[in-house]
Structure 1
Amino acid sequence: MIHIDGQLAIRTITGRNGKFNVGRLATSIGEFVIKDALLDQYSEGKYRGNFAISEIRPSYYSTGGRLVVEIRAKVDSMTLEDVDNLTAEDAAQLSPSEPDPLDEEPVRPSPPEAPRETRNPTPTRAAQMPADDAPFGMDSSSSSTKHSQPNENAELFGTIWPLGSEVRLDTTVDRQRLRAQCARLGELGYELDFKLQLWKRQPQP
Structure 2
Amino acid sequence: MINIPGQLAIRTISGRNGDFNVGRLSTSIGEFVIKDALLDQYNEGKYRGDFLITEIRPSYYSTAGRLVVEIRAKLESMNLDDVDSLTAEDAATLSPSEPDPIDEEPSSTQTAPQQQRRNTSTAAPAVNDLNKPLSAQDAPFGIAPPSSTNSAEQDARLFGTIWPLDDTVKLDTTVDRQRLRQQCARLGELGYVLDFKLQAWTLSSF
Q: TM-score range by the shorter chain?
A: 0.7 to 0.9
Amino acid at match of 2:177: R
Paired with 2:145 and 2:172, the residues of 1 have a C-alpha distance of: 32
1:32 maps to 32
Paired with 2:145 and 2:204, the residues of 1 have a C-alpha distance of: 27
TM-score normalised by L of structure 1: 0.87
1:181 maps to 183
Offset of residue 203 of structure 1: 1.1
Paired with 1:49 and 1:141, the residues of 2 have a C-alpha distance of: 51
Offset of residue 130 of structure 1: 5.4
Structure 2 counterpart of 1:131, from 123, 140, 156: 140
Equivalent positions of 1:147-162 (< 5 A) are 147-162=149-164
Is 1:84 aligned with 2:67?
no
Amino acid at match of 1:191: V
Q: Look at both structures and tell me which one has the larger radius of gyration over its CA atoms.
A: 1
1:51 maps to 51
Is 1:142 aligned with 2:142?
no
2:204 maps to 202
SS at match of 1:141: coil
Unaligned runs of 5+ in 2: 119-124
2:41 maps to 41
Amino acid at match of 2:52: A
Q: CA RMSD in A?
A: 2.2
TM-score normalised by L of structure 2: 0.86
Structure 1 stretches of 4+ moved >3 Å: 108-111, 125-130
Is 1:193 aligned with 2:195?
yes
Amino acid at match of 1:92: A
SS at match of 1:142: coil
**Size of the alignment, in residue pairs?**
190
2:23 maps to 23
Amino acid at match of 1:80: L
1:11 maps to 11
